Structure 1
Amino acid sequence: MSSLRAKIQDVFNEPACEQNRGKDAKARKEGCSKPLTPGAAAGGCAFDGAKIVLHPITDVAHLIHAPLACEGNSWDNRGAASSGPTLWRTSFTTDLTELDVVMGQGERKLFKAIREIKEAYGPPAIFVYPTCVTALIGDDIEAVCKRAAEKFGLPVVPVNAPGFVGSKNLGNKLAGEALLEHVIGTVEPDDAGLYDINILGEFNLSGEFWLMKPLLDRLGIRVRACIPGDARYLDIAGAHRARAAMVVCSTALINLARKMEQRWGIPFFEGSFYGITDTSDALRNIAELLVKQGADPEILGRTEVLIAEEEAIAWKKLAAYRPRLAGKRVLLNTGGVKSWSVVHALMEIGIEIVGTSVKKSTVEDKERIKQILKDDNHIFEQMAARELYAMLSEHKADILLSGGRTQFVALKAKTPWLDINQERQHPYAGYDGMVELVRQIDLAIQNPIWCQVREPAPWDCQPAVGEELPRTKSENVTLHAVQEFSGTTAADFGEC
């Protein structure tokens, strides 16, 4: 437990964070994460955060050393995708019972579970996650993992991030520390080159990374490790031989990027693949870092040619949506990198942003939003469901972009809604992703169902006795569609 406490203190003292550097020594050790309220989920615990970062490593067996519910409530909580291995989709847990806890059988049961996974699946590595119960009873996870690794001849990685130690963001960083301590640098690749990069904080949600990889391939840039999206254990183990790195979500793995720069001299920058301009800037920054690291400067010219070609194609596709979406008002209830990157992307095509949440955003994210919107009135830390409903029901926004938790608020307010968080079904990264995002917004706003649900219900406008009930607009539209299809005329149906 003392080693865990030291790790947490080290993670809070993050010199790569500009805001943290401006604090005194005492305030820096307290970190930026808000303290948890007892009994509150606070958007996820440290165990949840560690699982989010490491679970998309596709060929690894992820073993949860805890009662069954800990794994059941956290499994498959993100829509990450794999291009190959499916072992990560299998749920492993030691399923501790009350008797195991009372009799002190936790460590023995963990060792047995590791052996069974090794014999049945033969993975390249096993990640072991303790949770609140096993941390509180004092199971020595690191000792068991070390003994199992020696016994079975494969890496067994302890991910020491039980839920009670802090927030989800802290769990993200502790997962990065586990990779630094036990994985990265343990394998020497035999094909290292001058055009190898790492991408950190990219989760490949709905296959978004696959929209960017072909662009990098065309430039001759190889992604040695994408952590964690669609990752393989050996790729991450050899990630220390990359020449440059891009951090997509700074709140998650900024500590990993900074320490990899310190240990192996891998420079990094923070960027985004959301929106045409941000995608182009990201490609330019990658090329410039590689040139500084010894790559041929001709890659800068090839990058500009690629950007010009892809931007021309994307803008041509978006031209059809401009007149349909110009002046439409969007409300974003999300956080993190999306709080500013998606805002910038939508404003590029003339969509008005009436508000964006910054609940899970860093100080740097908030500064970017202020520079983009030029108005603090459109930025809110948190909006209660009642306030969100009032804003939507008063038609202050034409569509809500958020996660699944607030979709029913939008539906109750009879307002279009689009999923922008990790549960989404469509990739929105890169040039093609931007076109898809705009297409989905257009489909949601222009859906004829909204005209129908906003009309008064038939029982709210009953006619007087003997008076014919008037048809609604939607009934007229349907009637004319039937007429065109069947070849009949309006006279056959009476006046519309």
Structure 2
Amino acid sequence: MSSLRAKIQDVFNEPACEQNRGKDAKARKEGCSKPLTPGAAAGGCAFDGAKIVLQPITDVAHLIHAPLACEGNSWDNRGAASSGPTLWRTSFTTDLTELDVVMGQGERKLFKAIREIKEAYGPPAIFVYPTCVTALIGDDIEAVCTRAAEKFGLPVVPVNAPGFVGSKNLGNKLAGEALLEHVIGTVEPDDAGPYDINILGEFNLSGEFWLVKPLLDRLGIRVRACIPGDARYLDIACAHRARAAMMVCSTALINLARKMEQRWDIPFFEGSFYGITDTSEALRQISQLLVKKGADPEILGRTEALIADEEAIAWKKLTAYRPRLEGKRVLLNTGGVKSWSVVHALMEIGIEIVGTSVKKSTVEDKERIKQILKDDNHIFEQMAARELYAMLSEHKADIMLSGGRTQFIALKAKTPWLDINQERQHPYAGYDGMVELVRQIDLAIHNPIWRQVREPAPWDCQPAVREELPSTRSETATVQAFKKFAGTMADDLGES
């Protein structure tokens, strides 16, 4: 537990975080996230954050040492995609019971579970996650993992991030610490080259990274390790031989990027693959870093040629959407890197941003938004559901881009909504991803269903008051005809 405490303090003192550097010593020890209230969800615990970062490593067995309910974090909770192995989709847990806890059988049961996984699946590595229960009863996870690794001849990695130690974001960083301590640098590749890079904080949601990797392949740039999206254990173990790195989500793995730069001299920058301009700039910075590390400068020219070709194709495809979307108002209720990268991407085609959330954004993210929007009035830290509904119901936005948690607010306000978070079904990264994002926005805004749902319901409509109903006129005419016929008959009888 003392080693875990030291790791947490080390993460809290992260020098690469500009916000952290501006704090005094006391505030720095408290970390960046709000303290958790016992019994409150708080948007995810440290265990959840660690599992999110490591589970996309697709050929590894992820073993949860805890009661069964802790493995509620399933393989499909973030929409990450794999191009090969599917072992990560299998849930492994020691399923501790009350009897196991009382009798102290946790460590023995963990060792047995590791052996069963090794014999049944033969993975290249096993990641072991303790949770609140096993951490509180004092199971020595690291000792069991060390013994199992010696016994079975494969890496068994302890991911020491029980839920009670802090927030989901802290769990992200503790997962990075586990990779640094037990995985990265443990294997020496025999094919290291001057064009190898790492991509950090990219989760390959809906296969987004597969839209970017072909661009790098065309430039002769090899992704040594994408951490964690569609990753393999061996790739991560060899990641220390990359020449440069790109950080996609600094809130998750900034500590990993900084320490890899310190230990193995791998320079990094933070960029985005959302939007045409940001994608082009990311490619330029990757090439420039590689040149600084010894690559042939001719790659700079090839990069500019590739950017020119891809931008021309993308803008030609977007020409059809600009008249339909220019001036449309978008409310962006998300955070992190998407709080500024998606803003820039949408403004490129003439869409107006009426508001963007910065709930999980760093100080650097917020500064980027201010530079893009030129106005602080469109930035909000967190907007209550009632305020979101009021804004949408008053038609201050034509569409809301957010995660699944707030979709029903938009639907209740009869406003188009598009999923921009991890549950989305479409990839939005790179040049082709930007075209797909614009297409989905266009489909959502111009869907004819919104015109129908905004019309008053039939039971809310009062029928127009008429002077005489058709049935009354018909009845009156019938009576009049009968009276005329009866009068005629009476006259005929009188004459006879």
Structure 1 residues 239 and 470, CA, compared in 2 at 3 Å: closer, same or farther? farther
Following superposition, the deviation at residue 43 of structure 1 comes to 1.2
Larger mean Cα displacement after TM superposition, 324-333 or 69-78: 69-78
Aligned-residue offset at 1:29:
2.8
In structure 1, how many angstroms separate the alpha carbons of the residues matched to 2:106 and 2:29?
Answer: 33
Q: How far apart are 1:99 and its partner, in Å?
A: 1.0
Q: State the Cα deviation string for residues 343-374 of structure 1 (Å, max 9, x = none).
A: 01000100000000011111111111111111
The alpha-carbon deviation at position 393 of structure 1 amounts to 0.4
Give the direction of change, closer, same or farther, for the CA distance of 1:120–1:462 in structure 2 (3 Å limit): same
Match of 2:239 in 1: 239
Could you tell me how far apart the structure 2 residues matched to 1:34 and 1:211 are? 36
Q: Which moved more, 1:464-473 or 1:114-123?
A: 464-473
- What do the CA deviations read for 1:85-120 (whole angstroms, capped 9, x no partner)? 000000101111111111111111100000000000
Q: Does 1:211 align with 2:211?
A: yes
Q: Is the 8 A contact 1:58 1:88 kept in 2?
A: yes
CA pair 472-155 structure 1, distance change in 2 beyond 3 A: farther
- TM-score w.r.t. the length of structure 2 is 0.93
- Post-superposition shift, 1:35? 1.5
Q: For this pair of structures, how many residues does the alignment match?
A: 496
Q: 1:309 to 1:151 in 2, by over 3 A?
A: same
**Which is worse superposed, 468-477 or 25-34?**
468-477
Give CA-to-partner distance per residue, 1:128-160, whole Å, 9 cap, x none. 000011111111000000000000000000000
Deviates more, 1:19-28 or 1:65-74: 19-28
Contact in 2 for aligned 1:199/1:225 (Cα 8 Å): yes
Identity between Structure 1 and Structure 2 (%): 93
**Distance of aligned partners of 1:92 and 1:264 in 2 relative to their CA distance in 1, 3 Å threshold:** same
* Distance change (3 Å), C-alpha of 1:159 and 1:459: same
Bigger mean CA deviation after superposition, 73-82 or 87-96: 73-82
Range with bigger deviation, 78-87 or 34-43: 34-43
Secondary structure of 1:119's counterpart equals helix
Whole-angstrom CA distance in 2 between matches of 1:191 and 1:8: 36
Q: In structure 2, do the counterparts of structure 1 residues 472 and 367 end up closer, same or farther at CA, with 3 Å as the change threshold?
A: farther
1:132 aligns with 2:112: no
Instruction: Look up the SS of the partner of 2:139 in the other structure.
Output: coil
Give the C-alpha shift of residue 463 in structure 1. 1.3
Deviation of 1:36 after TM superposition, in Å, equals 1.6
**Secondary structure of 1:482's partner?**
helix
1:224-267 deviations in Å (ceiling 9; x for gaps): 00000000000000000000000000000000000000000000
Shift of residue 63 of structure 1?
Answer: 0.3
Partner of 2:414: 414
Worse-superposed segment, 230-239 or 479-488: 479-488
Per the TM alignment, residue 491 of structure 1 is displaced from its structure 2 partner at its CA by 46
Provide the C-alpha distance between the structure 1 equivalents of 2:422 and 2:288, rounded to a whole number of angstroms: 30
Kindly indicate whether the alpha-carbon contact (under 8 Å) linking 2:247 and 2:254 is maintained by their aligned counterparts in 1. Answer: yes
For residue 39 of structure 1, report the CA deviation from its aligned partner. Answer: 2.4
Q: CA deviation at 1:464?
A: 4.0
Structure 1 residues 487 and 313: alpha-carbon distance in aligned structure 2, compared to 1, 3 A threshold? farther
Distance 1:464 1:252, change over 3 A: same
C-alpha change, 1:474 and 1:223, in structure 2 (3 Å) is: farther
Shift of 1:72: 2.2
**What is the deviation of 1:465?**
6.1
More displaced 10-residue stretch of structure 1: 184-193 or 474-483: 474-483
- Offset from partner CA, 1:172-197 (integer Å, 9 cap, x none): 00000000000000000000000000
C-alpha change, 1:74 and 1:47, in structure 2 (3 Å) is farther
Question: 1: CA distance between counterparts of 2:140 and 2:409?
Answer: 45
Query: 1:5-35: CA deviations, max 9, x gaps?
Result: 0000001111111222233333333322221
Partners in 2 of 1:492 and 1:278 — Cα distance? 100
CA displacement, residues 42-100 of structure 1 (integer Å, 9 cap, x when unaligned): 21110000001000000000000011111024543110000000000001011111111
Show the 5 A alignment for 1:155-166: 155-166=155-166
Q: 1:492 & 1:277 partners in 2: Cα distance?
A: 99
Q: Distance in 1 between matches of 2:380 and 2:495?
A: 51
Residues 1:219 and 1:71: Cα distance change in structure 2 (over 3 Å): same
* Pairwise CA distance, 1:493: 49
CA contact under 8 A between 2:357 and 2:379: conserved in structure 1? yes
Structure 1 residue matching 2:62: 3-state secondary structure: strand
Alpha carbons 1:75, 1:91 under 8 Å: kept: yes
Relative to structure 1, the CA distance from residue 296 to residue 468 in structure 2 (aligned partners, 3 Å threshold; closer, same or farther) is: farther
Correspondence for 1:2: 2
Structure whose alpha-carbon radius of gyration is higher: 2
Gap change, CA 1:480 and 1:158, over 3 Å in 2: farther
Structure 2 gaps of 5+ residues are none
1:453-473 Cα deviation digits (max 9, x unpaired): 000011111314669999999
Provide the aligned C-alpha RMSD in A. Answer: 9.3
Q: CA deviation at 1:485?
A: 49
Aligned in 2, Cα 1:318/1:475: closer, same or farther, shift over 3 Å?
farther
- Inter-partner Cα distance in structure 1 for 2:136 and 2:470: 68
State the partner residue of 1:320: 320
Between the aligned partners of 1:303 and 1:393, the Cα distance in structure 2 is 46
Is contact 2:19-2:362 (8 Å) kept?
no
**Aligned equivalents of 1:495, 1:409: Cα separation in 2:** 83
Aligned-partner Cα distance in 1 for 2:484–2:198: 57
Q: In the TM superposition, what is the alpha-carbon distance from 1:40 to its structure 2 partner?
A: 1.9
Q: In structure 2, what is the Cα distance between the partners aligned to 1:161 and 1:482?
A: 94
Q: State the alpha-carbon separation in 1 of the partners of residues 320 and 467 from structure 2.
A: 45
Post-superposition CA distance 1:301-339 (Å, at most 9, x none) = 000000000000000000100000011000011000000
- The Cα of 1:375 is off from its aligned counterpart by 1.0
CA distance, structure 1, for counterparts of residue 410 and residue 226 of structure 2: 35
Preserved contact between residue 48 and residue 73 of structure 2 (Cα < 8 Å): no
Would you say the 8 A contact 1:451–1:474 is kept in 2?
no
- My pick for the range that moved more, 18-27 or 35-44, is 18-27
Instruction: Please state whether the residue corresponding to 1:331 is helix, strand or coil.
Output: strand
5+ residue gaps, structure 1, are none
Cα 1:489/1:277, change in 2 over 3 Å: farther
Corresponding residue for residue 310 of structure 2? 310
Q: 1:447 to 1:241 in 2, by over 3 A?
A: same
| Alignment partners' CA distance in 1, 2:274 and 2:62 | 30
Residue 127 of structure 1 and its aligned partner are, at CA, apart by 0.2
Sort the Cα spacing of 1:484 and 1:233 in 2 relative to 1 into closer, same or farther, 3 A.
farther
Conserved? CA contact 1:199–1:247, under 8 Å: yes
Q: Does the 8 A contact of 1:483 with 1:489 survive in 2?
A: no
Q: Shift in Å at residue 489 of structure 1?
A: 47
Alignment check: 8 A CA contact 1:483 1:490 kept: no
* Preserved CA contact (<8 Å) 1:401 1:418: yes
Change (3 A) 1:488 1:314: farther
Query: How many Å separate the matches in 2 of 1:428 and 1:39?
Result: 36
